[in-house]
Amino acid sequence: MKLYEINTEILRLTDQIEFDEETGEILCDIDSIQSQIDSLQMERHSILSWLAKLILNLRSEEAALKAEEARLRKRRERIARKQERLMHILDRECAGRKTDLDVATFSYRKTSHVDVSDAAKAVRWLKRNKHPECYRIPEPEVAKTEVRKLINAGAKVPGVTVVEDYSCQLR
φ, ψ for residue 89, nearest 5 deg: -65, -45
Instruction: Quote the domain boundaries for residue 120.
Output: 99-170
Nearest by Cα to 97 from 8, 20, 166:
166
pLDDT tens sequence across 20-62: 777 777 777 888 888 999 999 999 999 999 999 999 999 999 9
Question: Residue 52 domain-assigned?
Answer: no
Question: Residue 36 domain-assigned?
Answer: no
Cβ atoms < 10 Å from Cβ of 118: 13
φ, ψ for residue 91, nearest 5 deg: -60, -45
Strands, E assignment, the chain? 99-100, 105-116, 160-170
Helix (H) or strand (E) holding 54: helix 30-94
Question: Residue 57 domain-assigned?
Answer: no
Question: Residue 2 domain-assigned?
Answer: no
Across 10-14, 107-111, 129-133, 137-141, least confident range: 137-141
Nearest by Cα to 132 from 147, 118, 117, 121:
147
Nearest by Cα to 137 from 127, 148, 150, 146:
127
Question: Residue 125 domain-assigned?
Answer: yes
Nearest by Cα to 131 from 154, 147, 115, 153:
147
Question: Residue 145 domain-assigned?
Answer: yes
Domain count, the chain: 1
Question: Residue 22 domain-assigned?
Answer: no
* Coil/strand/helix, residue 34: helix
For residue 171, the model assigns a pLDDT of 55
Question: Residue 138 domain-assigned?
Answer: yes
* Coil/strand/helix, residue 156: coil
Q: Are 146 and 134 in contact (CB under 8 A)?
A: yes
Q: Are 159 and 118 in contact (CB under 8 A)?
A: yes
pLDDT tens sequence across 115-168: 999 998 999 999 999 998 898 877 778 999 999 999 999 999 999 999 888 877
